[in-house]
Chain A
Amino acid sequence: MRLSDQIVSLTLEHLELVLVAIAVASTLAIPGAILLTRRAGLRGAMVGFANIVQTVPSLALFGFLLPIPFIGGIGKHTAIIALCLYAILPILRNTLVGLLGVDAAVRESAVAMGMTPNQILRQVELPLAAPSILAGVRIATVTTIGTATIAAAIGAGGLGVFIFQGIASVNSVMILAGAIPAALMAVLADEGLEWIERRCSPF
């Protein structure tokens, strides 16, 4: 296979890892944060847990997951679970910040005007929190693109394959063939999601 074809196929694989991980992390973290705004007691514990996960070095986390039955093993799903765990914190935290940051006077008048909790969530809290939530997704996406290069270490593929091969054979061109597309992907994701963020801003 030519190098250029290989770059394309590994980039697509990389993108797949990131997209699946971010999609799963978002579907867990956004509703999770909504629940946590209603349960102040659980909030500290959950954010603390997500914080702790974030401090585990990524290579170590991939390693820890390997021997766990059903979750672990060589391949994509282990990598996706690990990437997901990392992506949850920024999304969870930003969603919480956005929802809790809604002006108390706005919330009080929403209740006093006779809106149901569901109407308040959909028509007031989520639209006002949208920029913050999307910023969380953007931060998570950009860091996941970087972290996903390490997934190659457990056989998940992606652009990390080039980087690990390049390191093993002391081949800078090979390392760059993995690093440059990954960096480009991160920049594009950052710009694109920032554009969406601006479009979704309620102001």
Chain B
Amino acid sequence: MIPAASAVLEIRNLSCRIGGRQILRDINLTVAAGETVVLLGRSGCGKTTLLKCVNRLVESTDGEILFQGRLLAEWDPFRMRRSMGYVIQDAGLFPHWTVAANAGLVPKLENWEPEALQKRVEFLLHAVGLPPADFAGRYPRQLSGGQKQRVGIARALAADPPLLLMDEPFAAVDPITRFELQKHFLSLRATMQKAALFVTHDVREALMLATRIVLLKDGAIDVVASPDRFRAAATEEARAFLASLDGIQ
């Protein structure tokens, strides 16, 4: 099997067992540049574990993962992680660092020149809608939940990684802020052409953001479909997720 030229991430026959429990079963998945693959599923379906296998926060037991055509095991784990942006629900910003320092973490680890670093941070804070004049010197405790998430996204994008890993990044903010962040994500994607692997349990979010939806059930892939086709998916699990949308009308 030769990976497609544009495949940023390729997962082959991946399984993961933790403490005797089978969390993931035979996962096959590719993510290309510009694509947002949304991993959708109930709590405990293994979607977060799958995401964490990609940057080796969790070690998979079987199968292989290729990042930019190279096996994960061949990468220096620290370099590999610096080439993948990572955004999580609680943002996980360093509370003792300013917004600018948080956003510039990865370029700093990669020993960028201070001027280049500062320029990049200013560019990113503008890009995520936080004017640096106002926000660069603030500390995370001086930010709202939505603003923290924006800094988290700026931090993930800082060293211009080809792949973004996002674990329910917008789950902990209020619905209005969430909708703003989701729209912002779409506009960033249009300009930056990143590959993204995006975990959510919110079918509405999946339909809005995905170029492709991967529905997981009990650690295995249940459905892979574009958002349009997903609406017509026939599996029980897909119907259950889609039915949760109907309650509103």
Contact = CB atoms under 8 A, between A and B. Distances in A.
Interface of A: 103, 105-106, 108-116, 119, 123-124, 127-128, 202-203
Contacts of A114: 77-83, 106, 109
A111 B81 contact: yes
A108 B139 contact: no
Interface stretch (B34-42, B88-96, B194-202): B88-96
A103 to B, nearest CB: 7
B135 to A, nearest CB: 18
A113 B88 contact: no
Interface in B31-90: 55, 57, 77-84, 86, 88-90
B212 interface: no
Interface of B: 55, 57, 77-84, 86, 88-96, 105-106, 109, 139, 141, 152, 155, 165
A98 B60 CA distance: 32
Secondary structure dominating the interface of A? helix
Nearest to A112: B86
A109 B155 CA distance: 10
A109 B139 CA distance: 17
Nearest to B80: A114
Closest 5 pairs between A and B when the two form their complex, measured CB to CB = A202-B96, A109-B92, A114-B82, A114-B81, A105-B92
A113 B156 CA distance: 8
A188 to B, nearest CB: 29
Given A109-B86, A112-B86, A113-B109, A103 B139 contact: no
Q: Which of A110, A114, A116 has the most CB of B within 10 A?
A: A114
A202 B81 contact: no
A140 to B, nearest CB: 24
A127 B101 CA distance: 15
Nearest to A119: B109
Interface centre among B81, B94, B141, by most A CB within 10 Å? B94
Contacts of A112: 55, 57, 81, 84, 86, 88, 165
A105 B90 contact: yes
Contacts of B89: 105
B78 A124 contact: no
Given A110-B94, A112-B88, A123-B94, 20 more contacts: A103-B92, A103-B95, A105-B89, A106-B94, A109-B91, A110-B92, A111-B81, A113-B86, A113-B105, A113-B109, A114-B77, A114-B79, A114-B81, A114-B106, A114-B109, A115-B78, A202-B95, A203-B96, A203-B139, A203-B141
B88 A106 contact: no
A112 B90 CA distance: 14
Contacts of A103: 90, 92, 95
B128 to A, nearest CB: 16
A123 to B, nearest CB: 8
A162 to B, nearest CB: 45
A133 to B, nearest CB: 14
Contacts of A203: 95-96, 139, 141
B92 A116 contact: no
Contacts of B105: 113, 115
